[in-house]
């Protein structure tokens, strides 16, 4: 009979959070491929790097498609951040064995992630472009 280490926690049956986490990683990863390729096409193929400056971004966000670009950037930020946070959550679950340290690590991860997401959303939606600066 194999002896289970004291720090190992019992694994639940397939389903629940881990199933949805697994599904989210696959779907968000697929969507992120298209969003990132679109971003790269716009920023590096359609426009050269020399063109991209404050005026370029301000004109894009102030134009008739400004709301679309803000939502596009928010979706890219949100999915990339949540995808990365979910990956870090799995790493923490795999390598942080003490329950107290796991709780501290996950709390720090969630607080930092929420802060970055809120900060990014505030910047995207409160940015008032001043064209021609």
122 is a domain residue: yes
Phi-psi region of 132 (alpha: psi -120 to 50; beta: other; left: phi over 0): left
12 is a domain residue: no
pLDDT of residue 16: 86
Say how far apart CA 108 and CA 120 lie, in whole Å. Answer: 18
CATH of the domain at 35: 1.20.1300.10
Whether the predicted pLDDT of 17 surpasses 90: no
118 is a domain residue: yes
Total Cβ atoms within 10 A of residue 73: 19
- Burial bucket for residue 11 (CB in 10 Å: 0-12, 13-18, 19+): exposed
Residue percentage of the chain with pLDDT more than 70: 88
**Mean pLDDT, range 20-30, rounded to an integer:** 92
- Six-digit token pair at 99? 């329950």
90 is a domain residue: yes
**Domains identified in the chain, total number:** 1
- Six-digit token pair at 130? 């001043």
56 is a domain residue: yes
Cα–Cα distances in Å, from 89 out to 27, 63, 82, 95, 130? 17, 39, 10, 10, 40
Instruction: Give the tens place of pLDDT for each residue, 63-85.
Output: 899 999 999 999 999 999 999 99
49 falls in which pLDDT band (50, 70, 90)? confident
Q: What are phi and psi of 10, to 5 degrees?
A: -65, 140
State which residues form the domain around 44: 20-126
Nearest CA among 21, 40, 13 for reference residue 89? 21
Which range is least confidently modeled, 33-37, 45-49, 108-112?
45-49
């Amino acid at each position: 009979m194999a002896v289970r280490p004291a720090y190992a926690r019992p694994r639940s049956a397939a389903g629940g959070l881990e199933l949805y986490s697994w599904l989210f990683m696959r779907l968000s990863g697929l969507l992120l491929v298209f969003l990132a390729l679109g971003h790269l096409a716009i920023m590096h193929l359609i426009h050269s790097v020399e063109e991209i400056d404050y005026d370029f971004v301000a004109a894009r966000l102030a134009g008739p498609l400004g709301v679309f670009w803000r939502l596009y950037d928010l979706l890219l930020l949100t999915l990339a951040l949540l995808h990365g946070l979910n990956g870090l959550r799995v790493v923490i679950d795999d390598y942080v064995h003490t329950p107290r340290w796991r709780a501290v690590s996950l709390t720090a991860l969630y607080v930092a992630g929420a802060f970055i997401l809120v900060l990014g959303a505030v910047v995207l939606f409160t940015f008032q472009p001043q064209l021609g600066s």
